[in-house]
Amino acid sequence: MSKAILGIHHITAITGDPQENIDFYTGVLGLRLVKVTVNFDDPGSYHLYYGNTNGTPGTILTFFAWPGARRGRHGNGQVTVTSFAIPPGSLPFWRERFRTKDIAFDAAHERFGQQVQPFADGDGMRLELVETPAADAARAWEGGSVPLEFAIRGFHSATLSETGYERTAALLTDTMGFRLVGQEQNRFRYEVGHGASQTVDVICAPAAPDGRVAVGSVHHIAWRTADDAQQRDWLREIGRLGYNVSPIMDRIYFHSIYYREPGGILFEIATDVPGFAIDEPLAKLGSGLMLPPWLEAQRPQIEAVLPPIERHHREQRAAL
């Protein structure tokens, strides 16, 4: 196969308050704010990117910030849970951290032989920490607010909720190269490769309500492909299968195509290149408002409508 899906590239969700979002994901979870830009399709709103030191694909969680928007509803046709990888033995540290910072969390449990800690952010977005030996220290943010030995190390997996799973499963296995590696009741686990961020769970829940994408929910999930040549192959393949697929879109830090899988979830295929250091030095990632060239002439108008934000989380600001 000349083209390959390498795992999760990024997951994009929706938040209501950009500053609270920054405070939670950098201050509580210890992720790096790697890019502050705007939604290219809605330039009056922020697009915030979080990840590891280098902004490595597979560590990137992004948010469209829509102040005043209504809350979403979790349900079928959505990525309902975003799961992060942490080293084995880290959960006691995280539970104490959540208690200290008054972050609510549910009881931990075991899934596929791994310890899982569910919790949520301030918008109600469902998150998990999963202990796994595949948690690689190189996928952490070395300068974050969490000691490196316990730090989040990119994604573990994502959970797709579906009314029926068979056609989604066929797309994952027959087209995208995933393989079924386990089942627990109505949860089916698929992997491509063998590391963290290369896992997706599909839940079949025919009686569950449909989700509504808004604040506190995931907008889309992006899958990694290596380069532009492979992406062009994916564009032809997805179109050949009868999906309505977008043209290739320039997202500056990667190039993207979009289509909806059979259960209605918006899938993206994004290139690993060129990466987040294309318009900022690596040491300065996230320090400025970065705009694509076609919006640069509109910078004064864009900056006038964006709410002010502080890149440092609340604790860091107090110490400055």
* Dist CA 246 CA 249 (whole Å): 8
Cα–Cα distance measured from residue 19 to residue 308, given in angstroms and rounded to the nearest whole number: 8
- For residue 40, how many C-alpha atoms fall within 13 Å in the half-sphere facing its CB? 12
Assess contact for 117 and 72: CB atoms under 8 A. Answer: no
Could you say which residues of the chain have pLDDT below 50? 318-320
Residue 16 CB contacts under 8 Å (≥ 6 apart), including other chains: 65, 66, 67, 68, 69, 123, 215, 216
pLDDT at 316: 59
Residue carrying the six token digits 């952010």 = 121
What pLDDT, on a 0 to 100 scale, did the predictor assign at position 92? Answer: 98
Predicted pLDDT of residue 168:
98
C-alpha distances out from residue 65 to 11, 62, 143, 317, Å:
14, 10, 25, 21
Residue in 182, 156, 180 with CA at minimum distance from that of residue 169: 180
Residue owning tokens 């961020």: 197
Task: Identify whether the C-beta of residue 311 lies closer than 8 Å to the C-beta of residue 286.
Answer: yes
> Where do the domains of the chain lie?
8-319
Distance CA 93, CA 151 (A): 10
**Residue 297 to residues 164, 206, 291, 292, 311: CA-CA distances in angstroms?**
47, 49, 9, 10, 24
CB hemisphere CA count around 142 (13 angstroms): 6
Q: Does domain 8-319 have CATH number 3.10.180.10?
A: yes
Confidence at residue 91, expressed as pLDDT on a 0 to 100 scale = 98
Backbone angles phi, psi at 127, to 5 degrees: -130, 160
* pLDDT computed for residue 195 by the predictor: 82
Q: What is the pLDDT of residue 314?
A: 62
